[in-house]
Structure formats: C-alpha cells, structure tokens
C-alpha cells in the first residue's frame, strides 16, 4: 500500500473511531467532504490537509493498533507521532 493510500485509509479509520468527535460540526463536515472528493493518488497538499486533522485527533478511544499504524506513517514522513491521550478521570 502506498503511503498516500495509507493516509486516506487511516484518516477514515480515525473518523470511524471517533477521533474527531470533539471538533466543531463544520470541521467534521469539512473532513467528510474532503474524504469524499479525494481520489488516489493524493497530492502533497491533500496529504497535508488530512495530516492537519490528525494533529487534532483525540486518541482516548482510538485502538492502540490504529494509533500505531498512524504513528508509523507519521514517523516515516519525519513528523511527530500522535500521543495516546488518556480519558480524564473525574475526582469526586
């Protein structure tokens, strides 16, 4: 699988695993619209747009295997990995 295909596929997987649910409705809508319009292979600009969303992913509920695959791609591109966010526990 080419890195571009991986980025699109992983973005869809992140979306399916609620990594972007904390974003504003219009931002999620823009991501859905972008994904629907994309065709392979991705241009560098399209790739960077998707990776920008990755920077804002909430990984509390993202499976470790998905997070690992995303981080592998990021490291191959010379970018910082996504950190696993733990859900904040409320103290009473």
Percent of the chain at pLDDT above 90?
77
Q: Return the CA Rg of the chain.
A: 13
**DSSP character for 86?**
P
Q: What is the pLDDT along the chain (92 residues), one digit of tens a residue?
A: 455 558 999 999 999 999 999 999 999 999 999 999 998 889 999 999 999 999 999 999 899 999 999 999 999 999 999 987 655 444 44
Residues 34-46 pLDDT 10s: 999 998 889 999 9
59: tokens are 């990984």
Q: Could you state, in order of their start, the residue ranges of all structural domains in the chain? A: 3-76
Annotate 36-68 with three-state secondary structure: HHCCCCCCHHHHHHHHHHHCCCCCCCCCHHHHH
């Amino acid at each position: 699988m080419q890195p571009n295909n991986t980025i699109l596929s992983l973005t869809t997987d992140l979306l399916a695993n609620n990594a972007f649910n904390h974003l504003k409705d219009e931002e999620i809508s823009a991501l859905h619209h972008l994904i629907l319009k994309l065709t392979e292979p991705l241009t560098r600009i399209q790739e960077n747009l998707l990776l920008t969303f990755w920077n804002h992913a909430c990984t509390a509920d993202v499976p470790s295997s998905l997070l690992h695959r995303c981080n592998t791609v990021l490291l191959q591109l010379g970018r910082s990995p996504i950190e696993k966010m733990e859900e904040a526990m409320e103290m009473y």
